[in-house]
């Protein structure tokens, strides 16, 4: 079962929720946490995980042959990303950070002066939980460590093609999913292409918001996106005892979306967050139990799958 954790507004606690849910699930079930917020991945920081590099993410990069180039400028006119710059009478030049690797310039060149090269646009990492009693993680048993794996994508500094890194991160994670019962995907904030790519082919989306006017506004945007994508959604309200809870409840009623969890504003959560331990441990246990039961009822997870975990 794939569960995405998203939120229209940044800073609502999306990564806090995603890491805590994945940690809680891994106490019993093999769980894959995929950090698709590639412009600012932080799940490894929230769980005190040391990431190890798995592979680079590469994409097409045009190479220009000045010997055959006729300085026509068609390549520049074709490039929708404005990555190919052309000045009349001069050879075109490339801004690599702007290039998204679509290859349109190579197809458009009537002289065959553009050939295929490549550039590194990001990196995929992975990491495991560690038993760190000094951080208050006495509950991290070897079984939990074995059940949990973090996959994290990170775009190269200055690169505009972040969606390609999200896609590559999801593709790499999909190759490992057969060994895990649950996949928790942490998306970026907003409703842009990176978020859409991270949300695709998920079974349930948890939309994290806060009871403020801006929180309501951005939650409405993400719920509209999820409706267009045909994805089931539930709402989690963070810092639920601050602001006006009725703002979110009214929107939830209008959209017919269930509020599945209300997280209070507590000093204990802040302390856990700052120490790099699961900030919501204990607060999401009932939610995780419900998610597992729903997965069984909807045949997204079978009893046979659970038995395989117990007797690999």
Tokens of 49: 């995980």
277 close to 136: Cβ distance less than 8 angstroms: yes
Give mean pLDDT, residues 279-295: 84
- Is 53 a domain residue? no
pLDDT at position 254 over 90: yes
225 close to 24: Cβ distance less than 8 angstroms: no
Number of domains in the chain: 2
pLDDT in tens, 226-235: 999 999 999 9
Same domain as 83, residue 42: no
Predicted local distance difference test score (pLDDT) of residue 160: 86
Predicted local distance difference test score (pLDDT) of residue 308: 55
Same domain as 43, residue 149: yes
Mean pLDDT of the chain, nearest integer: 90
Domain span at 69:
58-120
Give mean pLDDT, residues 139-165: 88
pLDDT in tens, 106-131: 999 999 999 999 999 999 999 998 76
Q: What is the pTM of this model?
A: 0.89
- Is 52 a domain residue? no
Read off the CATH number of the domain in which 99 is found: 3.30.70.20
Same domain as 300, residue 156: yes
Same domain as 214, residue 95: no
- Is 196 a domain residue? yes
Q: How far apart are CA 269 and CA 249, in angstroms?
A: 23
CA 62 to chain centre: 29
Torsion angle of C-alpha atoms 207, 210, 212, 218, degrees rounded to 10:
-20
Domain final residue pick, 73, 97, 120: 120
pLDDT at position 265 over 80: yes
Contacts of residue 297, defined as CB under 8 A and 6 or more positions apart, other chains included, come to none
281 close to 26: Cβ distance less than 8 angstroms: no
Which one has a higher pLDDT value, 274 or 98?
98
């Amino acid at each position: 079962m794939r569960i995405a954790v998203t939120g229209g507004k940044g800073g609502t606690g999306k990564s806090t929720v995603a890491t805590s849910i994945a940690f809680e699930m891994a106490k019993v079930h093999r769980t894959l946490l995929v950090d698709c917020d590639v412009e600012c991945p932080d799940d490894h920081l929230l769980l005190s995980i040391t990431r190890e590099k798995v592979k680079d993410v590469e994409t097409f990069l045009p190479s220009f042959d000045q010997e055959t180039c006729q300085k026509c400028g068609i390549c520049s006119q074709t490039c929708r990303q404005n990555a190919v710059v052309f000045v009349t009478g001069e050879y075109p030049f490339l801004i690599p950070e702007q290039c998204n690797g679509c290859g349109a310039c190579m197809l458009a060149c009537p002289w065959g002066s553009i050939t295929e090269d490549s550039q590194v646009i990001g990196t995929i990492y992975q990491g495991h939980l560690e038993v760190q009693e000094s951080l208050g993680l006495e509950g991290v048993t070897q079984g939990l460590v074995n059940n949990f794996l973090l996959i994290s994508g990170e775009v190269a500094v200055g690169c505009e093609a972040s969606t390609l890194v999200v896609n590559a991160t999801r593709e790499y994670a999909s190759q490992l999913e057969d060994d895990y019962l649950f996949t928790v995907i942490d998306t970026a904030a907003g409703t842009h292409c990176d978020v859409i790519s991270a949300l695709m082919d998920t079974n349930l989306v948890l939309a994290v918001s806060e009871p403020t006017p801006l929180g309501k506004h951005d939650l409405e945007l993400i719920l509209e996106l999820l409706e267009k994508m045909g994805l089931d959604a539930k709402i989690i309200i963070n810092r639920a005892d601050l602001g006006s809870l009725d703002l979110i409840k009214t929107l939830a009623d209008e959209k017919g979306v269930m509020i599945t969890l209300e997280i209070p504003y507590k000093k204990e959560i802040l302390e856990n967050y700052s120490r790099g331990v699961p900030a919501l441990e204990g607060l999401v246990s009932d939610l995780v139990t419900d998610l597992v039961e729903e997965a069984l009822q909807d045949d997204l997870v079978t009893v046979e799958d659970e038995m395989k975990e117990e007797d690999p």
